[in-house]
Amino acid sequence: MRKIWIILLVLLMFSGVASAKVEYFYMENNTGLNFMNGYYLIEVIDIKKADFFAIVNLTSDGQSNRYHIRSESSSISTYPWNRINDINASFFTDNSFRMGIDYPDNWSAPVKYTISSATGTKSDSSKVPIIVVTKSVEETDINVGDIIEIKIKTTNTGNETASGVTLTEYMPEGFIRATGSRFPPVVKEKLEPGESDEIYYALEAVKAGTFTIEPTKIEYGTGRKESNSITITVSREVKEKSQLVTEIFIDDNDVMTGDLINMVVKIINNGNASAESVLIEGSVPKGLELEEGDLRQLYKKIESGEYESYSVILKAVDGGNYTVRLKTSYNDDTVGFATSSETISVTKKEKNPVDYWYIILPITGLIVGVVLFTMNRHKEYRY
């Protein structure tokens, strides 16, 4: 029995070693090792030959801390610097020593770089962008028909600009893109050091079950990062829900400047529950003017199968093609959806000479009067 325990202990010891590897590097003052494109940095600050130790600076996740390393292994226990198992120093000379590092075997070999001795800062070769990406959602237990909003946050925690940033996102099983939402979302292509970007998209649950929203994949330059995954449980119970449709009617979409356009907006509830806090809002495109009414309307409630409508009058001011866009939001769709009218074509009206008669006729009458008066006076002088 005792032999079995010894064998198990040996196996456990070897299984722990198998997950790491030990390598040795000859280091000088103001040199460093860059693991995994900036994921973990080791920088030599000072070599103390007489005392047989070296001062190094460890950096991970944008956090730095200094350690004294000696010939015996120095176990690192504090997060995030404990991502390496241990580190030691030996074979000291006046300006160099051998550094042994025990690090995870799934890490690639580090890149050695030089630190500027004049400024104490890393040279350009050591400046790297480090992207951290997270994914979150407010609710993870929902019903079929519910809409969830996914938030993706990317932050550059490195000391260099991240360029050419791209995002890969997969549509999870059991969901479809929610109306009015963009999928896949688009990430900012460039992130400066310390800069963050937040993007959102909405999904509608269409199938019951437990589903996983896969990690978001971010690529930039030679770097690649993934976010966390999210598990969503969707209940089979379909709750009563409102569903609005907004329609826009135009009485005439081919008009001249100065003409009036009658527009009717109709909001229909096709769902099986009342819609509450219904808000319709929009703006009149440049080239048209609001002559009467208001595009923004608020309804406290629209019952299932019922509708509300309102009308406005627009005036064509400038020639061109215009579209009126409205956004409808309510309690069951707080994100809202967009509705566009048909295109309104406005032709600029040319001035008609008849339009100037009110000026021409009085002037002509005045001229004729002057001529007749002059002729009459001329006759009087002749006699």
Whether residue 382 is contained in a domain is answered as no
Provide the pLDDT confidence category of residue 180 given band limits of 50, 70 and 90.
Answer: confident
CATH number at residue 269: 2.60.40.10
Upper half-sphere CA count for residue 244 (Cβ side, 13 Å) = 33
Mean pLDDT of 123-151: 84
pLDDT of 2: 52
Number of domain units in the chain: 3
- Residue span of the structural domain in which 65 resides: 2-125
Query: Domain end: 212, 238, 264, which one?
Result: 238
Residues 6 or more apart whose Cβ sits within 8 Å of residue 44: 27, 28, 29, 30, 31, 32, 54, 55, 56, 99
Q: Which residue has the higher pLDDT, 51 or 209?
A: 209
Do 117 and 162 sit in the same domain of this protein? no
Do 71 and 88 sit in the same domain of this protein? yes
Do 196 and 230 sit in the same domain of this protein? yes
Among residues 62, 42, 60, the alpha carbon closest in space to that of 115 is found at 42
Query: Domain end: 66, 90, 125, which one?
Result: 125
Question: Mind listing the pLDDT tens digit for each residue in 1-32?
Answer: 555 555 554 444 444 444 678 899 999 988 99
Question: Mind listing the pLDDT tens digit for each residue in 309-357?
Answer: 999 999 999 999 999 999 999 999 988 999 999 999 999 887 665 555 6
pLDDT of 121: 45
Upper half-sphere CA count for residue 281 (Cβ side, 13 Å) = 7
Do 224 and 283 sit in the same domain of this protein? no
Query: Domain end: 223, 238, 253, which one?
Result: 238
Whether residue 8 is contained in a domain is answered as yes
Do 289 and 211 sit in the same domain of this protein? no
Record the tokens describing residue 239, joined without a space.
């709750």
Query: What's the whole-number average pLDDT of the chain?
Result: 85
Element spanning 322, H or E? strand 320-322
Do 169 and 251 sit in the same domain of this protein? no
Do 186 and 271 sit in the same domain of this protein? no
Question: Mind listing the pLDDT tens digit for each residue in 65-84?
Answer: 888 898 876 678 888 888 99
- Judged against a pLDDT cut of 50, whether residue 117 lies above it is answered with no
Mean pLDDT of 212-217: 94
In this predicted structure, which of 3-12, 173-182, 246-255, 320-329 has the lowest mean pLDDT?
3-12
pLDDT of 136: 94
CATH number at residue 14: 2.60.98
Do 262 and 282 sit in the same domain of this protein? yes
Whether residue 363 is contained in a domain is answered as no
Whether residue 380 is contained in a domain is answered as no
Q: Which residue has the higher pLDDT, 194 or 76?
A: 194
pLDDT of 370: 72
Do 271 and 159 sit in the same domain of this protein? no
Give phi and psi for 70, each to the nearest 5. Answer: -125, -170
Do 286 and 342 sit in the same domain of this protein? yes
Q: What percent of the chain has pLDDT over 70?
A: 85
Do 148 and 232 sit in the same domain of this protein? yes
Whether residue 358 is contained in a domain is answered as no
Whether residue 368 is contained in a domain is answered as no
Do 280 and 318 sit in the same domain of this protein? yes
Q: Which residue has the higher pLDDT, 165 or 356?
A: 165
